[in-house]
Structures are given as structure tokens and as C-alpha cells.
Amino acid sequence: MIGHEVTTQTSTRKRFRVQDFARSKAEGRKLTMLTAYDGLTAKIFDEAGVDILLVGDSVADNLLGYENTLPVTLDEMVVAARSVCRATKYAMVVADLPFGSYEASPQAAFDSAARMMKQSGAQAVKIEGGDRIAAHVRLLTQSGIPVVGHLGLTPQSEHMLGGKRVQARDDAAAEQLAQDALALQEAGACAVVLEMVPEHVAARVTEILTIPTIGIGAGTEVDGQVLVWTDMAGMTSWSPRFAKQFGQVGQALSDATHAYIDEVRSGTFPAPEHTFTT
């Protein structure tokens, strides 16, 4: 299996590395990616066997209380990525470069990416855009910084896109998406995230690329899937249409909190077994 070996008693994993992207596509093995923003959850996901942990700028509206991803800073992203890296042994850690930290020029992208890699320990960065940032991607990859691209719904451009809407819905837009994906591949990207695009469009892009596609709201005909972990685990009462809640962690946490409050107020916690005596 990609990125690890299996013994008869226990699984002995190896770190998922950039070469495993191409190998997984060639072998037809689906990639698994989840967001992670802190060491506590990163350790759980890593030990469960997720291939890639994405320190997404979605930390902004999922953890930090911002309205969307735009306000999060590179400083905040570095702190989040550092905590994830400290807790991760096997998964590749990919960190988003936030809005405003890379768009201006290839040099700006390099400066931000180099800082992210040096200060957090992330093994790759993710940036949004296609042909318009191909020069940025080329400089990063030629400088030894692996890059994951991001096309389709690019949240950092949501105001230009008119909100969180499905992208590449007509033939011209679908063709542009394909050309953008090819431009990223030519520039050296190791994978491309496709967000909220029609399944047949994602399937075509997946077919024409030699690097893997990782879908989020892009159907099944991609090389892997990514979800925001709070959506995946049922941490909120609402999740996007494309997301599935694989657990009800939010409800379990609420139930535990209610039980704690009840026992403290009733005097049943702490019980004798939780109390020190001389």
C-alpha cells in the first residue's frame, strides 16, 4: 500500500511523501485527506491512517470565529500548521497559504511558502488558482517546495465568484478548468484539489492529468477525497450538501458537557475515587 508496509501483527507505516501522489494514481489507490488545525485532532487522524492532513485556511471560519477564510493571517496559519506537524508521524502535512500572502508575485509566494515550511514543518503548501499562478507554482517547485493546487470553487475568491456556487457548469468554463489544471501540472504541482465542480468535469480533468485530483464536492471519479473534519465528524448541525457526517462528535461532546454540569451541580462529581486523601 502507498506510504506504508504491513506486517502480520501490526501496521508499520511510513511517512506519506510527495512521490506517493503519483504512485497512488498509477496504482488506482484512492487518497484520503482531512483538514486538521491542532495537535489533538491531528494525532487522532494520523493514527487512524489518513494519507494527508490539510491545514486549511478553513481554520478561519471553523475554529477562529471569522465569517469566511479571508481574514486569517499567515501568522495564524503557521501556528496551526506547527501544532499539526508536531502531532503527526505518518501523514503528509499540507498547509494553505492564506489570502494576500502569495498572489502578488512568484517572489511573494516563495517568501510565504518558505516561511511556512521553515517555521511550521509542513511538507507542502496549497494555493488557489490556475494559469494565472503557474509562474508562482513553478518557482516554488523549482525551489524544492511541493505544491498542491486548488481549482473550482476557490474560497479566497468567493466575492469574485458570487459566493459558494458550483463552478465550471458550462462548456467554456469546464474547458478553462481543464487548461488551468494542465498549467498547474506543467508548473510542477503534485496534486490538484477540485472543489464543487460537476462530476463529469472532474472526471475529465482526472483523466487528462498524470497527477492526482482530490475532490470535495466533485463526485467519485477523482483520485481521492478531502473533507473539512468538522463536517466529516458531525461537529455542527449543518454541513454542505457534498459532505457526509461519518459520526456525531458534536452531539457526543454536548452530551458529555451536560453530564458534567449535572454531576457537578448535584454533588456526585467528584466521587470518592476521584478524590485524594492523606
Q: Domain spans of the chain?
A: 4-247, 249-278
For 144-177, letters b (16+ CB in 10 Å) and e give ebbbbbbbbbbbbebeeeeeeebbbeeeeebebb
pLDDT more than 90, % of the chain: 86
- Over residues 90-113, the mean pLDDT reads 98
Cα distance between residue 44 and residue 64, in whole Å: 21
Q: In the predicted model, what is the mean pLDDT of residues 31-49?
A: 98
Identify the active-site residue in 76, 103, 195, 207: 195
pLDDT tens digits, 44-91: 999 999 999 999 999 999 999 999 999 999 999 999 999 999 999 999
Predicted local distance difference test score (pLDDT) of residue 2: 52
- Residue 10: per-residue pLDDT: 44
For the segment 239-255, what is each residue's pLDDT rounded down to a tens digit?
Answer: 898 999 999 999 999 99
Q: For residue 105, what pLDDT band results from cuts at 50, 70 and 90?
A: very high
* Helix 106-120 with 74-87: angle, nearest 10 deg: 40
Residue with cell string 478524590: 275
Closest residue by Cα to residue 197 from 228, 174, 230, 213: 174
Contacts of 113 (CB under 8 A, 6+ apart): 97, 102, 125, 140, 145, 147
195 counts as catalytic: yes
Average pLDDT, the chain: 94
Q: Which long-range contacts (CB under 8 A, 24 or more apart) does 227-235 make?
A: 227/33, 227/34, 227/35, 228/34, 228/35, 228/56, 228/58, 228/62, 229/34, 229/35, 229/36, 229/41, 229/45, 230/62, 232/34
Q: Is 7's pLDDT higher than 50?
A: no
Q: Residue range 202-209: average pLDDT? A: 98
pLDDT digits (tens, 9 = 90+) for 143-166: 999 999 999 999 888 777 766 788
Q: CATH assignment of 4-247, given 3.30.1450.10, 3.20.20.60, 3.40.50.620, 2.40.10.220? A: 3.20.20.60
Which pLDDT belongs to residue 272?
A: 87
Q: Which range has the top average pLDDT, 112-126, 159-173, 238-252? A: 112-126
What is the pLDDT, as a whole number, of residue 278?
Answer: 74
pLDDT of residue 5: 46
Ramachandran bin of 203, using left for φ above 0, alpha for ψ from -120 to 50, beta for the remaining angles? alpha
Identify the H or E element spanning 68.
none
